[in-house]
Amino acid sequence: MAESDVEMWKIKRLIKSLEAARGNGTSMISLIIPPKDQIPRVQKMLADEFGTASNIKSRVNRQSVLAAITSVQARLKLYNRVPENGLVVYCGTILTEDGKERKVNIDFEPFKPVNTSLYLCDNKFHTEPLNDLLIDDNKFGFIIMDGSGCLFGTLQGNAKEILHKFSVELPKKHGRGGQSALRFARLRMEKRHNYLRKVAEAAVEMYIKNDKVIVSGLVLAGSAQFKTELGQSDMFDQRLQAKIIKTVDISYGGESGFNEAIELAADTLTDVKFIKEKKLIGSFFDEISRDTNKAIYGVQETLTALEMGAVETLICWENLAINRPSAEKTSDTPADSADSENTQNNTYETDTNVSLLEWLADNYKKFGATLEIVSDKSQEGAQFVRGFGGLGGILRYQVEIPQMEDVEKGIDEQMKLRSINDISLNQVVVVSGITICTLAVIYFFRKCKGCDGHCVTKGHITLENPEEKYALKLIGKEEVSHDTRRFRFALPSESHVLGLPVGQFIYVSAKIDEKIVIRPYTPVTSDDEKGFVEFIIKVYHRNVHPKFPDGGKMSQHMDSLKIGDTLDFRGPNGLIHYKGNGKFAIKATKKGPSVPRHFDEIGLIAGGTGITPMLQLIREILKHPEDPTKISLLFANQTEADILEELDFLAAENPTRFRVWYTVDRSPGEHWIYSEGFVNEQMIAEHLPIQNVGSAVLMCGPPPMINYACNPALDKLNFPVENRFVF
């Protein structure tokens, strides 16, 4: 439930932004391809449209339309076939609020099949088919009857709707009447009969359209025998009789009875989002009422528990209007000076541009939580929003959230210096200065995970001297695949970080067979993690590859290590240093000066274990939503089993920021949709951003792959040598 709901919310967010976009001319393309369509057919259609667009009289509009069509054609080259749920592409040039032009290029597979085929070139994006995806497939009808009237309603997704209601005055039973008793009884039965007939006729009008029943099920609810008589009456349409899934007794009529009927029919409506929300928030309330200390609420407390990995289910209101506070430097000191220990002149402010809900939707999986996005349309949902601010969670285990008393004392002392009668929140932030920064760090960025800006966690540096060896103890080993392992080594203390810039590596050394063996490796963890460092290493076993009968000495040695054994580390080393937001510091030689470079897009080519520095770079970019750098990865391996599942996960979570394409020595079968064989110019041309002037290609892998496959292919494609780099 959670993932589909999050995807639905993301679609809502996307629709909102697309609907607001406008452009000059007709250069905004909306393309929707249903699942059973063919990519070649669409490419041919686009080629025809390209020819037609060439005749547009306005030069500016013609160039914009042609550029948009070309971009769509390039996007389609990323797909060998239409995805299972279809394909949606939006491309064009839009006008920003300040009147500037900005290119939009979005393509994604919707979370459920789209059955509409659409191609439109207009001054706006057409999102009508996407709105259809947001409609819940199942709609349930409710008929609420009692002696005072009837109500017709529907429940679909998390929305309930009252379609129609009317009142009646029915005569009551009585024991008087004498000779008129039979006449009174007859009149009473006649009015009941007319009431049932009116309800039956109205039910047809409400729930049958164009001779088709529009509800998946029907719930009859009421007091006395009205509901039962209706269900058994010949006046009630047989098509609706077949849809009756539940008959319930309720204590009230009208809207209160509608709410009660939903409650009582919950066991037959388990897949309806409205019911799921009521149960979810009800369980949250139960944890609070039973005082189990396993419910958390409030922005600060919830995010702190989330950072600790203690939140099992994160509950968030779909219209949560809270921006995510973030520690952001406002001094003139460059971002890369974070290595300096003198930070006294830095100030911090709250970033008001990042929606907390957007950040949670993009990052909740990193904390091992499930995200449930709820509405305020149910009674429980409204209470959750009003009473708990619309954000809370159910914990895996009890936790103690750090108290704020000490920090608040600092604020109080500063506030004594001035009157606070008319102080706004922004003024409090300014007056509090570093104290507010401390609040943000304590509650949201205890390890600096996910912070806006490529922040550096302050801690004790392990690699203080790049020429010195540091013996680290193995504390964990995990089998990732048949020949790949994840190793975790302890740093000197829980407050230590490795101190390795993104893009650089360390040397690992050990005495093997009486000889010192040294190998370069890049950790998959960053300095966000304190107290440990992790590596993903491919183990090259003996007698597996005919050209290397001895296998990999260091990888086999590491695989033989037992928990508690040590290994020597030295660093940092490397020619490439990523500083965030597309900025690199690159050395031509080890002792040469660092040259600043900036790239909008990065193409990565990795072979085998060459994925490790790539993975570090990919993680660093994707964990910062504000980093505009786009990444494309071409990953070469021997077999499908060598592929890391994390790459597919990252691509799925960041479809507009990260793409991955694979090639293996031999195709594993008909299910394989990727490439086969060595890296060549066709793979690079189709899957890396080599046409973009502001792009770079970074390579890491066996020297033969770099020298005899990658570089020759890039030469044929005329990709600039100065924009190629090897880790």
How does pLDDT run across 414-428, given as a tens digit for each residue?
Answer: 333 333 333 343 443
* pTM attached to this predicted model: 0.43
pLDDT confidence tier of residue 313, bands split at 50, 70 and 90: very high
> What average pLDDT score do residues 281-293 get?
80
Least confident of 206-215, 471-480, 556-565, 691-700: 691-700
Least confident of 131-145, 191-205, 244-258: 131-145
Q: Which residues of 555-593 are buried (b: 16+ CB within 10 A; e: fewer)?
A: bebbbebeeeeebbbbbbebbbbbbbebbbbbeeeeeee
The string of pLDDT tens digits covering residues 84-143 is 888 999 988 888 777 788 888 888 888 788 888 889 888 888 888 887 777 666 789 999
Would you say 206 and 164 are in contact if contact means Cβ atoms under 8 Å apart? yes
- What 3-state class would DSSP assign to 653? helix
pLDDT confidence tier of residue 172, bands split at 50, 70 and 90: low
% of the chain beyond a pLDDT of 90: 11
pLDDT reading at 158 higher than 90? no
The string of pLDDT tens digits covering residues 536-551 is 888 888 877 665 677 7
> What average pLDDT score do residues 621-637 get?
90
pLDDT reading at 43 higher than 70? yes
Would you say 90 and 103 are in contact if contact means Cβ atoms under 8 Å apart? no
% of the chain beyond a pLDDT of 70: 83
Amino acid identity of residue 80, one-letter, is N
The string of pLDDT tens digits covering residues 2-20 is 566 787 778 778 888 888 8
| The pLDDT of residue 445 | 38
**Is the omega angle on the peptide bond into residue 712 within 30 degrees of 0, that is, cis?**
no
| The pLDDT of residue 485 | 86
| The pLDDT of residue 475 | 93
Domains present along the chain, CATH in parentheses: 21-132 (3.30.960.10), 139-269 (3.30.420.60), 460-572 (2.40.30.10), 577-726 (3.40.50.80)
Mean pLDDT estimate for the chain: 79
pLDDT reading at 331 higher than 80? no
| The pLDDT of residue 673 | 84
Residue with tokens 């060598």: 642
Cα separations (Å) of 191 from 143, 184, 220, 637?
Answer: 19, 11, 20, 80
